[in-house]
Amino acid sequence: FADSVDLASLDDAQHAHVPYVVILIQALDIFRRESGKQLPSSREEKDQFKQLLAKMRRSDKEVNFQEAIDNAYKVWVPYEIPEPVQKVLQAVGSSGGRPDF
């Protein structure tokens, strides 16, 4: 879905309503092409990523881009499924995915 949004072709109102997650995904694609790295890791790279987000914004009034900048850390912070959830998923998988009624 994120790749289907063409930011350049949107009018200003549409541009201001693109979900920040889409903006983060597209900015990460640009970062990967330009740097050759998967994720920003150093402080300098993280700052560059945030600057990239700021450059993508058309106006300071676009709250969605500020949300993207504020949540940029979610791009490089690893996420793990909590262990209790993993156990539930494994239990469901071992039961064939059918409820035991």
User: How confident is the model at residue 40, as a pLDDT?
Assistant: 96
pLDDT tens digits along 5-39 = 999 999 999 999 999 999 999 999 999 999 999 99
What is the value of pTM for the model shown? 0.78
Is 27 inside a domain boundary? yes
User: How confident is the model at residue 101, as a pLDDT?
Assistant: 56
Q: Using only C-alpha atoms, what is the Rg of the chain?
A: 18
Please give the tally of structural domains in the chain: 1
Structural domain containing residue 86: 2-94
Is 57 inside a domain boundary? yes
Is 38 inside a domain boundary? yes
pLDDT tens digits along 41-85 = 999 999 999 999 999 999 999 999 999 999 999 999 988 999 999
Is 35 inside a domain boundary? yes
Is 101 inside a domain boundary? no
